[in-house]
Amino acid sequence: MPEAFSFERRVGFAETDAAGLVHFSNFFRYMEEAEAALFRAIDWPLFTSEQGVIAGFPKRAAECDYRRPLYFDDVFTIEVALRKLRASALTWQFTFRRGPDVCAYGQYTTIYARRDAASEGIAPALVPDALRERLERYCTEEPADAQK
């Protein structure tokens, strides 16, 4: 059974429109904040820079399905699950809740990639084994040797 990870947040005034509703684009920022909080919880940096090589998790695809609005000053929780843990890719699922109500479902896929600072090239790399071990407890998908 995967562990649950959740991140609580309050809607700021600057995140809303003139009607006091959260602008849709902020849900993507909230997802990234929740991802960063999970990485802090497992004591792993979201990106590294060593000897001119930068490694991190650029987004490959992102989506959000909105169900109920969030308003200025609402306190909400983002539940985070790792749907897929592949050799170079992570697919995250986010559930936004205000109390018992689901406000949105989000998902994105990140690619673990490395970039040599001396060049403009970026290339997928294998998710480090130590990171994979820390993330497996949040993964809703059964691990398979073929995915590694």
- pLDDT for the residue 125: 92
- Residue 148 lies inside a defined structural domain of this protein: no
From CA 137, how far away is CA 48, in angstroms rounded? 23
Classify residue 51: in a domain, yes or no. Answer: yes
14 within a domain of the structure (yes/no): yes
Please report whether residue 145 resides in a domain.
Answer: no
Helix, strand or coil for residue 127?
A: coil
Q: Does 116 participate in catalysis according to the annotation?
A: no
* pLDDT tens readout for residues 47-71: 888 877 889 999 999 999 999 999 9
In 10 A of CB 32, how many CB atoms? 17
Q: Does 60 reside within a domain?
A: yes
Identify whether 46 is part of a domain. Answer: yes
What total number of domains does the chain contain? 1
CATH number for 71: 3.10.129.10
For residue 134, how far is the Cα from the chain centroid? 15
- What range does the domain containing 84 cover? 5-136
- Tell me which of 17, 65, 101, 116 is the catalytic residue: 17
For residue range 80-123, what is the model confidence (pLDDT) as tens digits? 999 999 999 999 999 999 999 999 999 999 999 998 766 778 88
Residue 144 falls inside a structural domain:
no
